[in-house]
Structure 1
Amino acid sequence: MAHHGEILQEAVKNSGISISRLVQELGITRPTIYRKFKETTLDYTFVKRVGELIQHDFTNDFDTPVQSQLHFTPAAVTPVAPVRSSVLHSVDQDCTKALMALQAKYIALLEAHNELLLKLYGPK
């Protein structure tokens, strides 16, 4: 099974873009890109940047889902003050929306996990 660096190297090779042009666009040196090709895991932002330059989507190329793709945003904490029931109803709706968004992200994470298990162990 190929690691991240090997997958990146293969995609760059298949893109037809020269290493010289790629390193120039990335603002790194040739030895740096060759070191990246040897790394087993790579930073998602680096892979995404290379993908943009060579016009390749790495979403399905890696075995593990990249957690930085899941944009979890912490809920803002507001001070509690006495409120009327109409305001409470509005707050309940906001909480429900936030909970539904979190549920959708959780389901997406579970699906990615299941895909990973299928890749690793295959169907039964």
Structure 2
Amino acid sequence: MELNAGEIVELAVRRKNVNISELSRRLHVNRRTLYNWFRQKKLHADVICEIGKVIDYDFSNDFEDEFKQFMPKEDLMVLNSDHRFSPPDSVYYWMEKYIALLEDYKRLVRKGPL
């Protein structure tokens, strides 16, 4: 039996022994949203990346097809390797930068107009 995307993410969260309340707080979503994501057959790659970053888990092996749409195949192989010491010209380095920018953007949007 093949697991759906939400089940794969939930399994990683449970294996990492991450508290759901803490995860929801760090992702700035409520717990119900997390549980809804865990039931989804498909999840957007941004959601998967955000959760992976928070729980310190690399989902690129679990969701190769989802990440293929964002990067060429040879760059995906860089993601699958050990990326803790990635140089600035690696894909993982720029993916982390992109995620950080998305998080900053979300914080600005939540603040509302000036």
* TM-score of the superposed pair, with normalisation by structure 2: 0.59
Task: Give the Å deviation of 1:68.
Answer: 4.1
Alignment coverage as a number of residue pairs = 75
Instruction: State the alpha-carbon separation in 2 of the partners of residues 17 and 26 from structure 1.
Output: 13
Task: Give the Å deviation of 1:8.
Answer: 0.3
Higher-Rg structure is 1
Instruction: State the alpha-carbon separation in 2 of the partners of residues 45 and 68 from structure 1.
Output: 12
1:28 is aligned to 29
Unaligned runs of 5+ in 2: 78-114
8 Å CA contact 1:23, 1:29 repeated in 2: yes
Task: Give the Å deviation of 1:44.
Answer: 0.5
1:19 is aligned to 20
8 Å CA contact 1:4, 1:41 repeated in 2: yes
Distance change (3 Å), C-alpha of 1:25 and 1:53: same
Instruction: State the alpha-carbon separation in 2 of the partners of residues 48 and 42 from structure 1.
Output: 10
Instruction: State the alpha-carbon separation in 2 of the partners of residues 25 and 63 from structure 1.
Output: 25
8 Å CA contact 2:45, 2:66 repeated in 1: no
Instruction: State the alpha-carbon separation in 1 of the partners of residues 47 and 25 from structure 2.
Output: 14
* TM-score of the superposed pair, with normalisation by structure 1: 0.55
Unaligned runs of 5+ in 1: 71-104, 113-124
Structure 1 residue 3 corresponds to structure 2 residue 4: yes
1:1-124, aligned counterparts within 5 Å? Answer: 1-62=2-63, 64-70=65-71, 105=72, 108=73
Paired-residue identity, %: 28
Instruction: State the alpha-carbon separation in 1 of the partners of residues 60 and 66 from structure 2.
Output: 8
SS of residue in 2 equivalent to 1:53: helix
2:95 is aligned to none
Task: Give the Å deviation of 1:65.
Answer: 3.9
SS of residue in 2 equivalent to 1:41: coil
Q: Which runs of 4+ in 1 moved over 3 A?
A: none
Q: How large is the RMSD of aligned CA atoms in angstroms?
A: 2.1
Question: Higher RCO, 1 or 2 (CA under 8 Å, sep at least 6)?
Answer: 1
Summarize deviations over 1:53-102 as a string: whole Å, max 9, x none: 100000011262424431xxxxxxxxxxxxxxxxxxxxxxxxxxxxxxxx
SS of residue in 2 equivalent to 1:51: helix
8 Å CA contact 1:44, 1:68 repeated in 2: no
